[in-house]
Chains A and B, each alone.
Chain A
Amino acid sequence: MNKAFIASVILSLIAILLLPKPSLSVFLVLLVDIFIFSTFSKTDDEKIASLLALGALSLIALALGGIKTGIDFSGGTRIVISLSQPVDQATMNEILDKLKGRISAFGLEQVVVTGVGNNLIYLDVPSTDETFPERIEQIISQQGRFIAIVDGEVVLTGRDILPGTVYTTFRADQIGGADWGVSFSITPEANIRFLEKVKGKANRPIYMFLDPVENAYIILSREKIKAPQQVLEVLTYLNNTLVYEEDLDKVTIPENVTLITSLEQFKDRPNTIIVNESELYPEYGGDEQTGYYIKSWKVIGLVSAPLVSPNLASGKTAGGLNYLITGTVAPGQDPIQEAKYIASVLKGGAFPVKLEVSGITRIPPVLGEETFKYSLAGIWIAVLLISIYLALRYKKLNIFIPLFITTLIENLVLLTIVGQFTLDLAAMAGLIAAAGISIDGQIIITDMFRRNEVKQAFEIIKNNTYIALVIMLPLIAVGSPEVVGFGITTAIAYVLGYLVSRNSYYALLKKFYK
């Protein structure tokens, strides 16, 4: 037997033993093996060996790692969210990031979030918790709470901002020497209130919060605070309490309040948010000589702190109800990103387009497991019955062995390959279609072998493979999770058949057909 073939089998075996299972890596190993083994198998024995090797590798992968089943078989909930309009890839990624962030903030980490095409998002969660869909609805329909505070007084809230008026701008005639600008408009009533409240407060910071943390305790080290007075000020605005790390033994922190800290010793305390030290402290502007000031403090929801311009303090706006926030960025930072971020804060952290829960499917785990077992058993019984039927039809009982073995191993390999990412109802239907495809190929070979036209049989099988691939390609490209598994399974079935199993079958047939 070809030594390179044996070497590649051993390499694949090592890869399958070492790699995590089920995983995309194992999927790739097996897929590549189909191509490699087919090029190595020249003699009949090698052709049979390549199918057996694929079968054995699959069996090992299955025994060690099992397969990944979708919610159809393992139970769970799938939620389809549709966007109000199609978006480009960058916007889709932004929405997915935001959604993932909000979902994990709700403590729902095991949710798998996938963007499909340019206007759908699928959420799969391996839980049938009844409140899950409602929580997701809440997450996507809810706006963040925006407030702006000057000298301890709330001067603006999200309710005051006119929807649809928030824009980023980079025009020099609008933003002057700054790097970016965000313009927005507020209601006439809010305008009067706002101008009154910022009167005479030139160069005072406007602390802008999104979903601010209130009534919490935060533990900071006295040494690491650069602008102590401002830190205290900002915390007291929202009734937060500062505890110095150095004084921990002297202070008792009430049990039922939220605690924000970087100290691991609190990790078992309920209501505690543990963050890295780098995120715990504010970001400062200024320097040692001119003095530091707080630029942002994400952990308590403080997103930005622009200053009240002298014009504004004397009662002049950017025009009517319109306002403009401008800012600079440090070298290397992207002003566009910064402006977009501030704009999204003013919109209450809203998604760039409207999201809507438009489909919910829930599968109880008991039902899922049963479906899986019976489906697989059904397919293999089908293969058995069809092989018997054909053996009878050809009036050659020993033809049963190559037919049954080839189709069964092929199906096992397919199950393992597809099971490395997600096996769902659609993929399972693909497995039965694959059994049919496999047997059809075997029939063509057998019939034409009996008529001495085997060469033409392989020609037809090759053509059928091309046809099937181009039929399934658009289905796979669109990627709708309801049917994509079907497309992938059938496509791989044709390739596996054409490259490996039909050749093995023919080699076996020659041995058994007497």
Chain B
Amino acid sequence: MIDRKYLLAGLVVLFLLSLYGWFHLKLGMDFQGGTLITITSSTPITIEDYFTPPYRLNAKTAGDQYIYELEIPNPPEIEEASQLRNQLIECARNLSLAYAQNQSTQPYQEECSRLIARLSELSGLSLPENATVQDYVDFAEKAYYQVLNNFRDRIKAMLPEATVDISTITPTLSQTFFEKMKQVFLLAIIFVSMVVLYIFRTIIPSLIVITGALVDIFIVLGLMGLLGIPLSFSTFAALLVILGYSLDTDVLLTSRYFKSRLEKSQVVNETMSTGLSMTTTGILAFIILLAIGYILKIVFYQEIASVVVMGLFVDIFTTWGLNAYLLEKLGEKK
């Protein structure tokens, strides 16, 4: 059996490492926006010849096809066109209202003209002489999609032999995703705290259980930063798995600690043997998922599995180092 003092020391080291890692934690495309370029080709392609970093590349084969998934930040002209479009639609609306309410239209007219000029520059489209306000709105949409399509055409033109798919996650959408996931996480923590309180009916042991799980997640996020694994839908799901698994062992330890009539250190050691088997099998299961992820080049599996494996590993330190230590301190006090 491992000496639990070493586990506590290991936890401190992991914690310090993760503090450093937190500064490097990145959001994935789901939560930050970006462009995903999927290139399907019958011959291999050297991506470095066509794209300059920064990008994330995942290359795989399917049948006799080579597939390259490339994540790049959104090009600045798309971001600008998206903003200009929204501004022009807003401006056209104001101009309309000025007309309808018989107010001066000149300031809006000037602003709209300025926005149209810039959008024309970006998109290569122009507006006819006798354009109406409704035409401004249509132009805003058309010009934006034109900028998007120009960008897509440029990339497609670079690789005429391949099938190129381009998918853009706009900043608005990624923000929506991120907000949603933050909400989900917060709710999960609140609900779970309530259930833990219900299970133990006393505050301190409940707090110890929840602290164990939260420290686990905190360290895993830091380690993700260190290893360059971004926070995305898959890793987010992984964090919830860790929360569940981590609480499983914490609840196991705390329940037995208070209910067993054996000597306390014996209870901890016995329970630790059960807990370690649980964690080991969990790690084994997700290492197999990781292997499938690498063999089939599925980023979703790779990310979810590597994060869960890390979380389960860290859980050994938080549950049998930190939680066991806190429980024993609590026991001594009583």
Asked if A and B are interacting partners, one says: yes
Q: Are B191 and A470 in contact (CB under 8 A)?
A: yes
* CA gap between A377 and B173 in the complex, in Å: 35
Asked if B68 is at the interface (CB within 8 A of a chain A CB), the reply is no
The B-contacting residues of A in range 444-479, CB under 8 angstroms, are 444, 447-448, 451, 453, 456, 459-460, 463-464, 466-468, 470-475, 477-478
Asked if B115 is at the interface (CB within 8 A of a chain A CB), the reply is no
User: Shortest CB–CB separation between residue A38 and chain B, in angstroms?
Assistant: 21
User: Shortest CB–CB separation between residue B29 and chain A, in angstroms?
Assistant: 9
A435 CB contacts on chain B under 8 angstroms:
285
* CA gap between A475 and B289 in the complex, in Å: 22
Q: Are B285 and A429 in contact (CB under 8 A)?
A: no
User: Shortest CB–CB separation between residue A415 and chain B, in angstroms?
Assistant: 15
* CA gap between A459 and B138 in the complex, in Å: 63
Q: Are A490 and B63 in contact (CB under 8 A)?
A: no
* CA gap between A448 and B274 in the complex, in Å: 9
Annotate B93-137 by CB proximity to A: 1 below 8 A, 0 otherwise.
Answer: 101110110100000000000000000000000000000111111
The B-contacting residues of A in range 101-145, CB under 8 angstroms, are 117, 119-120, 130, 133-134, 137, 141, 143
Stretch at the interface among B49-57, B162-170, B220-228: B162-170
Q: Which of A362, A366, A375 is within 8 Å of B38, CB to CB?
A: A362
Which A residue's beta carbon lies closest to that of B233? Answer: A482
User: Shortest CB–CB separation between residue A359 and chain B, in angstroms?
Assistant: 5
User: Shortest CB–CB separation between residue A429 and chain B, in angstroms?
Assistant: 5
Which B residue's beta carbon lies closest to that of A464? Answer: B248
A360 CB contacts on chain B under 8 angstroms:
165-168
User: Shortest CB–CB separation between residue B269 and chain A, in angstroms?
Assistant: 12
Asked if A160 is at the interface (CB within 8 A of a chain B CB), the reply is yes
Annotate A359-387 by CB proximity to B: 1 below 8 A, 0 otherwise.
Answer: 11110101100110011001101100110
Which B residue's beta carbon lies closest to that of A494? Answer: B244
Q: Which of A162, A366, A432 is within 8 Å of B99, CB to CB?
A: A162
Which A residue's beta carbon lies closest to that of B138? Answer: A143
Known: A141-B141, A460-B252, A480-B233. A466 touches B199 (CB 8 A): yes
* CA gap between A451 and B166 in the complex, in Å: 59
* CA gap between A385 and B291 in the complex, in Å: 14
Asked if B282 is at the interface (CB within 8 A of a chain A CB), the reply is yes
Which B residue's beta carbon lies closest to that of A188? Answer: B99
Asked if B317 is at the interface (CB within 8 A of a chain A CB), the reply is no
Q: Are B277 and A390 in contact (CB under 8 A)?
A: yes
Q: Which of B92, B167, B255 is within 8 Å of A460, CB to CB?
A: B255
Known: A390-B277, A467-B248. A429 touches B180 (CB 8 A): no
B92 CB contacts on chain A under 8 angstroms:
163-164
Known: A141-B142, A382-B285. A456 touches B165 (CB 8 A): no
Q: Are B184 and A478 in contact (CB under 8 A)?
A: yes
Q: Are B248 and A436 in contact (CB under 8 A)?
A: no
Asked if B196 is at the interface (CB within 8 A of a chain A CB), the reply is yes
Asked if B286 is at the interface (CB within 8 A of a chain A CB), the reply is yes
Q: Are A436 and B285 in contact (CB under 8 A)?
A: yes
The B-contacting residues of A in range 48-99, CB under 8 angstroms, are 80, 82, 84
Q: Are A163 and B244 in contact (CB under 8 A)?
A: no
Asked if B296 is at the interface (CB within 8 A of a chain A CB), the reply is yes
B102 CB contacts on chain A under 8 angstroms:
320-321
Q: Are A374 and B292 in contact (CB under 8 A)?
A: yes
Asked if B236 is at the interface (CB within 8 A of a chain A CB), the reply is yes
Which B residue's beta carbon lies closest to that of A431? Answer: B289
Asked if B19 is at the interface (CB within 8 A of a chain A CB), the reply is no
User: Shortest CB–CB separation between residue B191 and chain A, in angstroms?
Assistant: 4
Q: Which of A143, A185, A440, A472 is within 8 Å of B100, CB to CB?
A: A185
Asked if A498 is at the interface (CB within 8 A of a chain B CB), the reply is no
* CA gap between A419 and B42 in the complex, in Å: 33
Q: Are A467 and B176 in contact (CB under 8 A)?
A: no
* CA gap between A389 and B184 in the complex, in Å: 36
Asked if A413 is at the interface (CB within 8 A of a chain B CB), the reply is no
Q: Are A432 and B30 in contact (CB under 8 A)?
A: no
The A-contacting residues of B in range 273-291, CB under 8 angstroms, are 273-274, 277-278, 280-282, 284-286, 288-289, 291
* CA gap between A119 and B233 in the complex, in Å: 18
Asked if A483 is at the interface (CB within 8 A of a chain B CB), the reply is yes
B16 CB contacts on chain A under 8 angstroms:
none
Q: Are B132 and A187 in contact (CB under 8 A)?
A: yes
Q: Are A467 and B251 in contact (CB under 8 A)?
A: yes
Q: Which of B95, B240, B305 is within 8 Å of A471, CB to CB?
A: B240
B259 CB contacts on chain A under 8 angstroms:
456
Asked if A393 is at the interface (CB within 8 A of a chain B CB), the reply is yes
Q: Are B247 and A464 in contact (CB under 8 A)?
A: yes
Which B residue's beta carbon lies closest to that of A486? Answer: B237
Annotate A408-420 by CB proximity to B: 1 below 8 A, 0 otherwise.
Answer: 0000000000000
* CA gap between A226 and B236 in the complex, in Å: 64
Known: A159-B132, A467-B248, A478-B184. A378 touches B292 (CB 8 A): yes
Instruction: Please indicate which of the listed interface residues A158, A367, A393, A433 has the most CB atoms of chain B within 10 Å of its own CB.
Output: A433
A470 CB contacts on chain B under 8 angstroms:
188, 191-192, 194-195
Which B residue's beta carbon lies closest to that of A161? Answer: B134
Asked if B219 is at the interface (CB within 8 A of a chain A CB), the reply is no
Asked if A190 is at the interface (CB within 8 A of a chain B CB), the reply is yes
The B-contacting residues of A in range 234-263, CB under 8 angstroms, are none
A508 CB contacts on chain B under 8 angstroms:
none
Instruction: Please indicate which of the listed interface residues B93, B100, B172, B291 has the most CB atoms of chain A within 10 Å of its own CB.
Output: B100
The A-contacting residues of B in range 150-166, CB under 8 angstroms, are 163, 165-166
Q: Which of A367, A385, A453 is within 8 Å of B284, CB to CB?
A: A385
Asked if A511 is at the interface (CB within 8 A of a chain B CB), the reply is no
* CA gap between A429 and B232 in the complex, in Å: 15
B30 CB contacts on chain A under 8 angstroms:
482
Q: Are A366 and B65 in contact (CB under 8 A)?
A: yes
A348 CB contacts on chain B under 8 angstroms:
134
Asked if A439 is at the interface (CB within 8 A of a chain B CB), the reply is yes
Known: A161-B134, A163-B93, A425-B298. A456 touches B255 (CB 8 A): yes
* CA gap between A439 and B248 in the complex, in Å: 13
Known: A429-B237, A470-B192, A483-B233. A162 touches B134 (CB 8 A): yes
B99 CB contacts on chain A under 8 angstroms:
162, 185, 187-188, 321
A471 CB contacts on chain B under 8 angstroms:
188, 191-192, 240, 243-244
Asked if A328 is at the interface (CB within 8 A of a chain B CB), the reply is no
Q: Are A478 and B237 in contact (CB under 8 A)?
A: no
Q: Are B38 and A390 in contact (CB under 8 A)?
A: no
Q: Which of B67, B172, B243, B274 is within 8 Å of A447, CB to CB?
A: B274
* CA gap between A159 and B136 in the complex, in Å: 10
Q: Are A82 and B67 in contact (CB under 8 A)?
A: no
Q: Are A478 and B134 in contact (CB under 8 A)?
A: no
Q: A163-B133, A386-B281, A436-B286 are in contact. List 17 more A-B contacts (CB 8 A).
A: A82-B173, A162-B97, A185-B99, A358-B169, A361-B167, A362-B167, A366-B65, A370-B296, A375-B301, A429-B300, A447-B274, A448-B274, A464-B244, A471-B243, A474-B187, A482-B233, A483-B234
Q: Lowest 6 A-B CB distances belong to which pairs?
A: A162-B96, A360-B167, A470-B191, A185-B100, A164-B93, A474-B187
Q: Return 13 A-B CB contacts under 8 Å, by A number.
A: A120-B176, A143-B138, A185-B96, A185-B100, A321-B99, A367-B67, A429-B289, A447-B273, A447-B277, A467-B244, A474-B183, A474-B187, A480-B233
